[in-house]
Structure formats: structure tokens, C-alpha cells
């Protein structure tokens, strides 16, 4: 479906619709209310920003390695397509608007997979120019490593949050946001990523490993 018109008819995954309904009614599940809200925001983004993307399979999981979320290209181990995962600690401990921002970031990977001219499936250019330009148009300033800052002006993302009374504190200038992210990323453990993408952090400078799922070599994502 890559490269199709953004008004093309969608082919939904029936299991994703059933999973969404199940998540909303699983009363003994601690993340029921949270995931219900994320599905609500997913729908708002899809409609307001005309993403025309299928309904994702959203899960809450401890991702590790300071990952806030991920989008999995292709089917996961359960055979589900369009998987979006949000880190458990991020979604429950950080301000809710940041988890919603992570959700939009991952939805844009889904948008690119379905509609983009240059989808990054099984490549090391996961946050390529097409992705970054699309994100910037909505107020998410993403660098080539996937670090995300938020535009403080002319941001459709922040405007939509305001429309639904989601509290966002005054944001610092972009350079200050970038400096904070650089500090967080200055650990001796460096991030490597395959094409799925699975991400790992290791301290060795010359990490050589191949993903058994996608077959891609892991590539270093952090600056040297």
C-alpha cells in the first residue's frame, strides 16, 4: 500500500478492531482507561490531520532503553499488523500530553508505511526526511535519531490538545528542549537499531549483530 493516495480506501485489520473493543471493556485490566484514551486520541489524530491510516494495535509495555514508543513494521509475533507500543512508565508517570505526543509520532510511522513515497521498512533511515517533514507540519520537531521536540508556535498538535482542554505547560524554546534531550542521550550506552525496529543499548563501540526477525544488521543511532 506504500505510496498510495492519502484518500485511498483503507483495508482495516478486523483483529485490531476487536482488540480495541476488548481493551475498552477489560474491567480487570489496569491500563483499560489509559488505552481507551489513547484510542480516542488516535481517532482524533486520524480524522483531524487526515492521516487516513488503519486502526493500530495499541499496547502498553515496558520498552526499556529510554524508548518512549515504537511502531512495528509488518506483523508482530501474534500476527497483528500496525502495532504501536507506548512505554509503560512513560504513559503512566510522565504528563499525559507527552504520551499523546508519542502516540502521534508513532502514528506518523504508520502513515508513512501506508501512504509515504519513501517508507523506511527494514532500513536504517527510520526517521527520514519525509517522516520529519510530515511531523514538523503537525508541530513535532524530530531529528534523524527520532528525538522529538515540540514547536512552541503554529503547532496543530498543541492546538488540538488545547481544543480538548489537555493541560500543556509553557514549553521552553526548541534549543533548550534539544539540549535536554542531548543530556538524556549522553549515556555511554549507545542505541542501535535494526529494521523492525528493535532497539538495544550496548557499551561496546563496534557492535555487530543481525536481527533474526528482519535480517537487518543493527545500526548505531546515537551520535559518536
Q: Indicate the domain borders of the chain.
A: 14-187
How large a percentage of the chain has pLDDT more than 90?
59
Q: Which residues contact 96 (CB under 8 A, 6 or more apart)?
A: 37, 166
Q: What is the pTM of this model?
A: 0.77
Confidence at residue 194, expressed as pLDDT on a 0 to 100 scale: 84
Instruction: Write the pLDDT tens digit of every residue in 26-47.
Output: 999 999 999 999 999 999 999 9
175's CB contacts (< 8 A; 6+ apart) are none
Say which CATH class 14-187 falls into: alpha beta
**pLDDT at position 5:** 47
Amino acid at each position: 500500500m506504500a505510496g498510495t493516495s492519502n484518500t485511498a480506501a483503507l483495508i482495516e485489520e478486523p483483529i485490531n478492531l476487536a482488540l480495541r473493543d476488548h481493551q475498552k471493556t477489560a474491567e480487570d485490566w489496569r491500563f483499560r482507561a489509559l488505552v481507551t484514551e489513547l484510542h480516542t486520541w488516535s481517532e482524533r489524530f486520524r480524522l483531524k490531520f487526515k492521516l487516513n491510516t488503519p486502526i493500530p494495535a495499541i499496547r502498553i509495555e515496558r520498552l526499556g532503553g529510554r524508548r518512549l514508543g515504537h511502531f512495528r513494521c509488518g506483523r508482530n509475533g501474534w500476527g497483528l499488523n500496525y502495532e504501536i507500543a507506548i512505554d509503560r512508565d512513560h504513559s503512566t508517570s510522565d504528563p499525559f500530553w507527552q504520551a499523546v505526543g508519542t502516540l502521534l509520532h508513532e502514528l506518523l510511522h504508520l502513515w508513512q508505511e501506508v501512504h509515504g513515497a519513501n517508507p523506511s521498512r527494514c532500513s536504517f533511515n527510520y526517521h527520514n526526511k519525509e517522516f520529519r517533514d510530515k511531523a514538523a507540519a503537525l508541530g513535532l520537531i524530530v531529528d534523524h535519531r527520532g528525538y522529538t521536540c515540540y514547536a512552541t508556535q503554529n503547532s496543530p498538535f498543541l492546538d488540538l490538545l488545547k481544543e480538548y482542554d489537555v493541560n500543556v505547560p509553557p514549553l521552553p524554546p526548541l534549543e533548550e528542549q534539544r539540549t535536554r534531550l542531548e543530556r538524556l542521550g549522553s549515556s555511554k550506552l549507545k542505541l542501535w537499531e535494526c529494521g523492525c525496529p528493535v532497539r538495544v543499548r550496548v557499551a561496546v563501540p563496534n557492535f555487530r549483530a543481525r536481527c533474526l526477525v528482519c535480517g537487518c544488521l543493527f545500526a548505531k543511532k546515537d551520535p559518536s
